[in-house]
Amino acid sequence: MGTLGARMALVAAIASNQGKTSVTAALARKLARAGQTVRVFKAGPDFIDPMILERASGASVHSLDLWMVGADACRRRLAQAALEADVVLVEGVMGLYDGDPSAADLARAFDLPVLAVIDAAAMAQTAGAVVLGLRDYGPVRMAGVVANRIASPGHARMVAASLRDIPLLATLPKQAQRLPERHLGLVTPDEVAGLDAMLDALADQLELDHAAWEALAPRLPAAVPEPAIAPLLAGKTVAVARDAAFCFLYPANLDTLHALGAQLRYFSPLADEPVPAGADAVWLPGGYPELHGAVLARAARWQESIRAAHRASVPILAECGGMMAVSESITDKEGLTWPMAALLPGRTRMQARLAGLGAQGVRLDAGELRGHTFHYSQLDTALEPVAWTVKHPANVRGEAVYRVGSLTASYFHGFFASHPAAAASLFGGRP
């Protein structure tokens, strides 16, 4: 660890649901238990997988994305991680070549060797054709294969023989227990009973070819200077809702608010905690308010405190689940309707179909704030938007942005580090 750099790899697959998160978590936990310092990143916009990977590795998990985060910031994160750790893992998104930018674009931009996760439950020798196609289509530098859902040592030997010059770096048997999921992906770590035991079991069952792993030469990417951030929120206190209903926070967003000079104070609407006294701005991040409708509906102190902040013209940013919590009501998947804080005229309702997904940006007076959207609810409102996000890379209209007094609300999740001054403007920061 340190001047020699770290072994680095991007964990990818042919599609979603191949086991990338399980493999990345198992490898991170296995190496961390062996005494190595592990840093894990997640490619693309995501909130929930990083929570699982943070638990597996013992360190914060940041996002890497050439568009939303930016190439320089990605390189800076990777270089810092290589200085601090023995191992740097990046979990890909969807299939290796899916999206614009894709996980393959990320691998090529930073010369990250790829570990291909193959769900081998219903194949044997065909695994070689799949992996060779993944390698050559881009191409990418293929460092090895992790075969998931292997049935027996004989099955593993057949897969290994099919790979030609690519090593079978690890195998993982079929799991009796999977990481549980819901409509936005995996459930959050605090909701999974025995998660650490599950991660330990995955690490125990991951059969790692240590010689193949150690053949990955440690690397130390060149550092990129950190750009100066003007302290546009110096002296301001930003109250941040943070609990099981408001848990979708990029670590980089918190870092950016600190860099802007803000003091952060956390509070829990689920615990009926009011907005902290003296807060200069309030951030209501996304999460799962629809799962906690009854509790939030009874949280009278919280509801009155956010209304009081609104009456006092305190800047309030409500993102996705945060917007749902300040609408008039939420109708959950069971059809039950729960009254909310009603700062925003309109009602939100859950639906079975995905309502919004993908990278987007919004043009603010200070510049373009980039981010993404991912939601299964709809807001029914007669309120006219003050702006719209723009989808990337399609360059078509995306999510509505609403403003009611000091409240800014949207399904859009902003990545504050993409334009700190634009993010600061949402909390009352002025150049």
Report the distance separating Cα 360 and Cα 388, nearest Å: 10
CB 279 within 8 Å of CB 273: no
Residue 314 lies in a domain: yes
Question: Considering its fold, how many domains does the chain have in total?
Answer: 2
Based on the fold, state whether residues 28 and 143 are members of the same structural domain: yes
Alpha helices in 163-264 (DSSP H): 195-205, 210-214, 251-259
Residues constituting the chain: 431
| Rounded Cα gap, residues 302 and 268, in angstroms | 8
Q: Could you tell me the CA-to-CA distances from 32 to 7, 25, 89, 174, 249 in Å, in that order?
A: 13, 10, 12, 23, 25
Peptide bond into 420 cis (omega under 30): no
Q: Is residue 230 part of a domain?
A: no
pLDDT on residue 224 = 84
Q: Where are the alpha helices (DSSP H) in 227-299?
A: 251-259, 293-298
- The CATH number of the domain where 47 resides is what? 3.40.50.300
Please state whether beta strands 62-64 and 38-43 pair in parallel, antiparallel, or not at all (unpaired): parallel
Contact 280, 236 (CB under 8 A): yes
Identify whether 139 is preceded by a cis peptide bond (ω within 30 of 0).
yes
* Active-site annotation holds for 247: no
Q: Give the torsion sign (CA, 249, 261, 63, 68).
A: positive
Q: Phi/psi of residue 263, each to 5°?
A: -95, 130
Same domain, 154 and 270: no
Asked if the structure places residue 219 within a domain, the reply is no
If asked whether residues 201 and 285 sit together in one domain, one would say: no
Which DSSP symbol is given to 69? Answer: I
Assigned domain for 430 exists: no
Q: Tokens at residue 296, please? A: 């939030």
Q: pLDDT tens per residue, the chain (431 residues)?
A: 545 789 999 999 999 989 999 999 999 999 999 999 999 999 999 888 899 999 999 999 999 999 999 999 999 999 999 999 999 999 999 999 999 999 999 999 999 999 999 999 999 999 999 999 999 999 999 999 999 999 999 999 999 999 999 999 999 998 866 665 544 444 565 666 678 888 999 999 999 999 999 999 998 888 888 899 999 999 999 999 999 999 999 999 999 999 999 999 999 999 999 999 999 999 999 999 999 999 999 999 999 999 999 999 999 999 999 999 999 999 999 999 999 999 999 999 999 998 999 999 999 999 999 999 999 999 999 999 999 999 999 999 999 999 999 999 999 999 999 999 999 999 999 86
Burial zone of 214 (CB within 10 Å; 0-12 exposed, 13-18 middle, 19+ buried):
exposed
Q: Give yes or no: residues 195 and 253 share one domain.
A: no
Residues 201 and 331 reside in one and the same domain: no
Q: 289 and 250, same structural domain?
A: yes
Please pick, among 10, 140, 295, 320, the residue that the annotation labels catalytic.
Answer: 320
Q: Are residues 170 and 40 both part of a single domain? A: yes
Is 292 in the same domain as 244? yes
Q: Are residues 308 and 179 in the same domain?
A: no
Where in the sequence is the domain holding 128, given as residue range(s)? 7-214
Q: What is the pLDDT of residue 183?
A: 45
Q: Could you give the CA distance from residue 59 to residue 54 in angstroms, rounded to a whole number? A: 5
CATH of the domain at 362: 3.40.50.880
- Residue 388 half-sphere exposure toward CB, CA atoms < 13 A: 8
Are both 179 and 287 inside the same structural domain? Answer: no
Return the ∠ at Cα 103 (arms to 143 and 36), rounded to 5°.
50
- Quick one: 209 and 244 in the same domain? no
Give the CA distances from residue 206 to residues 25, 153, 279, in Å, rounded to whole numbers and listed in that order.
Answer: 10, 13, 48
pTM: 0.93
Single-letter amino acid code for the residue at 343: L
CA distance 102 to 168: 24
In a domain, 192, yes or no: yes
Cα 77 versus chain centre, distance: 15
User: Same structural domain for residues 69 and 122?
Assistant: yes
Residue 335 tokens read as 């059809």
Q: Is 55 strand, coil or helix?
A: helix
Other C-beta atoms lying within 10 Å of the C-beta of residue 165: 7
Would you say residue 350 lies in a domain?
A: yes
Beta-carbon contacts of residue 19 (< 8 Å; ≥ 6 apart): 13, 117, 119, 148, 149, 172
In a domain, 221, yes or no: no
CA distance 230 to 377: 36
Q: Could you tell me if residue 2 is inside a domain?
A: no
